[in-house]
């Protein structure tokens, strides 16, 4: 088993070094060698996952130093398979896609190094190794993004990515320093055992070390996972090669969710940090989704979609559903990677014909033609609200009866309910020859999705956090006072109902329609400028450059 643990990150690293050294002689064979190496890596990672699934206990693989420790546990084995799998697909896709590009060999070398760094990150068993791999990923991503060295926008957006990643890297250094200072070890296993033993160790200013470190780690995760205010790089890095976009959206931005999960034993003992994750994640999910809807560029829309999904993933951590976040990041990685790799083909085909069959869904969604005859309002409202709730409750009750004791689970159920209700609500006005057949199909699909989601996420829960006490501790750490919880539910419900009412009355003339239009246009302007966040950052950067120039002139450039 130890052999496989070392082999997984070492194989792509070794291949990258060899192919770099002999790239002049190997030429196009660099790609074939890289793919073969990735295939072997995937086999080794799958073997590790098999060990984990068959109950092999977690272990550290150490080389006798305080750094360079590799960890074998369910999380690292699962993530290794995901990364190796996605990387293999990206490698295979790149063989032909990058064939006519400059720096073909360099691209594969960097791809190999990136995969090795990602695999090292998920297997890092000490803070130093984790930090090193975390930093390396940012640098390698920059080098991959600037593959086209002649394109100015590519350079600019790659730099944004690099700076944002650096902004996220550095708090992790502070977190490591705080934790080492408080507990005197680099080893993650020893650290988590020490935290469990004495969670109240204080750091500077009399603050609890785990609370401070928890916030700093969360901040690093926010930068890596493009949370609001640290998100601008994500939708703009589309000018990089498509395989890099696929790898980035499928395997790199997800690292925030992984990091939070890696430090789950720390977050179990915190009191308020998870609330921060919930708020930031929720806000990002909403903003990302709103921005996605306003894009007319498929890749940029995908970028904002990733932002929304990452927000949801962080929010899941914020409610204590850590394993669900891992399931989410894997599912998202797979579907988003597929979408990116397919985006070029779709754009190419759409140039000839949009290929959308003009049936009921098209006339409803694109042409916005609503049904002439509608179903009874009260009946539809009852179906809209009751059926998703019934399905959700039944599905979750089937997998775990104590599920409803946890606040975080209720929040997720609530979001699931709203989504289901939204789905039925949206189809209420759709033109169709047989509306009841349509609703039955929608409800059946929804039930299958919910049941599948509940069962898989429960299986993830049992695999990643087999100790029920640990699972409960995570939900407890995410809990809030009942008053605040109720207030939150009421506020969110009010917003959703308001949104539904706005949609229902949209297009109907009323006395306030002019004012409404003006507000709507202003809101749209705000979204189309992406909340002026980038303008603000550019303004700050210009001011800083001006100040630096002024200082240099004053000091006569010495």
Question: Distance between CA 253 and CA 149 in Å, rounded?
Answer: 23
Is 61 strand, coil or helix?
strand
Question: Distance between CA 464 and CA 75 in Å, rounded?
Answer: 6
User: Binding of other proteins at residue 26 (CB under 8 A)?
Assistant: no
Exactly one of 174, 229, 410, 470 binds other proteins (CB under 8 A); that residue is 174
User: Binding of other proteins at residue 159 (CB under 8 A)?
Assistant: yes
Minimum Å gap between C-beta 446 and other proteins is 46
User: Binding of other proteins at residue 22 (CB under 8 A)?
Assistant: no
Site for other proteins in 37-66 (CB under 8 A): 65-66
Looking at beta carbons only, is 166 or 300 nearer to other proteins? 166
Exactly one of 93, 97, 180, 283 binds other proteins (CB under 8 A); that residue is 180
Q: 209: which 2 tokens?
A: 């070390």
User: Binding of other proteins at residue 27 (CB under 8 A)?
Assistant: no
Q: 234: which 2 tokens?
A: 């994500």
Exactly one of 131, 226, 252, 273 binds other proteins (CB under 8 A); that residue is 131
Is 302 strand, coil or helix?
helix
Exactly one of 10, 39, 173, 393 binds other proteins (CB under 8 A); that residue is 173
Q: In sequence order, which ranges of 465-507 are alpha helices (DSSP H)?
A: 468-478, 482-505
User: Binding of other proteins at residue 200 (CB under 8 A)?
Assistant: no
Looking at beta carbons only, is 521 or 541 nearer to other proteins? 541
Question: Distance between CA 152 and CA 187 in Å, rounded?
Answer: 43
Question: Distance between CA 78 and CA 46 in Å, rounded?
Answer: 8
Question: Distance between CA 138 and CA 166 in Å, rounded?
Answer: 7
Question: What are the backbone angles phi and psi of residue 23, rounded to the nearest 5°?
Answer: -60, -35
Minimum Å gap between C-beta 59 and other proteins is 22
Exactly one of 10, 61, 92, 166 binds other proteins (CB under 8 A); that residue is 166
Exactly one of 56, 203, 338, 369 binds other proteins (CB under 8 A); that residue is 203
Residue 58: DSSP 8-state: P
Residue 286: is it exposed, middle or buried by C-beta count within 10 angstroms (0-12/13-18/19+)?
middle
Minimum Å gap between C-beta 156 and other proteins is 8
Residue 35: DSSP 8-state: H
- Contact by Cβ (8 Å): 527, 291: yes
Q: Which stretch binds other proteins (CB under 8 A): 136-144, 310-318, 342-350, 402-410?
A: 136-144
Minimum Å gap between C-beta 218 and other proteins is 16
Q: Report how far apart, in Å, the C-alpha atoms of 194 and of each of 59, 262, 361 are.
A: 17, 15, 57
Minimum Å gap between C-beta 115 and other proteins is 17
Binding positions for other proteins, rule: CB under 8 A: 65-68, 102-103, 128, 131-132, 135-136, 139, 142-143, 146, 149-150, 152, 155, 159, 162-163, 166-167, 170-171, 173-174, 177-178, 180-181, 186, 203-205, 544-545, 547-549, 551-552, 555, 557-558
């Amino acid at each position: 088993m130890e052999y496989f643990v070392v082999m997984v990150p070492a194989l792509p690293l070794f291949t990258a070094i060899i192919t770099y050294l002999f790239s002049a002689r190997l030429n196009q064979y660099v790609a074939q060698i890289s793919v073969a190496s990735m295939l072997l890596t995937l086999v080794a990672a799958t073997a590790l996952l098999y060990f984990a699934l068959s109950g092999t206990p977690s272990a550290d693989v150490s080389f006798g130093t305080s750094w360079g420790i590799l960890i074998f546990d369910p999380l690292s084995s699962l993530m290794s398979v995901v990364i190796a799998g996605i990387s293999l697909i990206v490698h295979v896709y790149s063989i032909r896609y990058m064939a006519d590009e400059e720096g073909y060999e360099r691209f594969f070398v960097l791809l190999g190094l990136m995969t090795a760094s990602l695999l090292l990150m998920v297997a890092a068993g000490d803070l130093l190794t984790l930090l090193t791999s975390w930093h390396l990923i940012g640098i390698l991503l920059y080098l991959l993004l600037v593959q086209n060295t002649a394109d100015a926008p590519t350079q600019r957006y790659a730099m944004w990515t690099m700076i944002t990643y650096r902004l996220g890297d550095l708090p992790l250094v502070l977190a490591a320093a705080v934790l080492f200072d408080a507990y005197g070890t680099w080893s993650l296993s020893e650290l988590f055992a020490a935290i469990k033993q004495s969670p109240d160790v204080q750091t500077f200013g009399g603050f609890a070390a785990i609370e401070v470190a928890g916030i700093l780690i969360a901040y690093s995760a926010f930068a890596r996972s493009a949370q609001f205010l640290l998100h601008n790089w994500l939708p703009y890095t589309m000018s990089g090669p498509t395989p890099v976009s696929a790898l980035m959206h499928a395997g790199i931005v997800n690292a925030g969710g992984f990091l939070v999960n890696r430090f789950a034993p720390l977050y179990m003992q915190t009191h308020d940090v998870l609330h921060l994750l919930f708020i930031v994640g929720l806000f990002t999910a909403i903003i990302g989704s709103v921005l996605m809807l306003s894009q007319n560029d498929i890749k940029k829309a995908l970028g904002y979609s990733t932002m929304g999904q990452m927000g949801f993933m962080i929010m899941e951590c914020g409610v204590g559903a850590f394993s669900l976040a891992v399931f989410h990041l894997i599912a998202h990685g797979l579907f988003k990677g597929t979408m990116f790799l397919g985006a070029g083909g779709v754009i190419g085909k759409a140039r000839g014909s949009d290929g959308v069959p003009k049936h009921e869904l098209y006339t409803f969604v694109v042409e916005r033609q609503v049904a002439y005859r509608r179903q009874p309002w009260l009946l539809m409202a009852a179906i809209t609200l009751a059926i998703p709730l019934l399905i959700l409750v039944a599905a979750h009750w089937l997998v775990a009866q104590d599920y409803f004791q946890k606040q975080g689970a209720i929040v997720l159920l609530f979001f699931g309910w709203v989504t289901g209700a939204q789905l039925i609500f949206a189809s209420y006005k759709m033109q169709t020859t047989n509306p009841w057949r349509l609703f039955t199909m929608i409800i059946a699909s929804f039930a299958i999705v919910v049941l599948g989601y509940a069962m898989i996420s429960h299986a993830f829960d049992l695999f990643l956090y087999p100790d029920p006490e640990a699972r409960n501790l995570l939900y407890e750490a995410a809990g809030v006072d009942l008053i605040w919880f109720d207030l939150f539910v009421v506020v969110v419900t009010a917003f959703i109902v308001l949104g539904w009412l706005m949609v229902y009355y949209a297009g109907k003339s009323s006395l306030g329609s002019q004012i409404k239009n003006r507000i709507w246009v202003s809101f749209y302007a705000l979204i189309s400028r992406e909340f002026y966040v980038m303008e603000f950052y550019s303004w700050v950067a210009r001011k800083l450059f001006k100040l630096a120039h002024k200082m240099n002139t004053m000091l006569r450039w010495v």
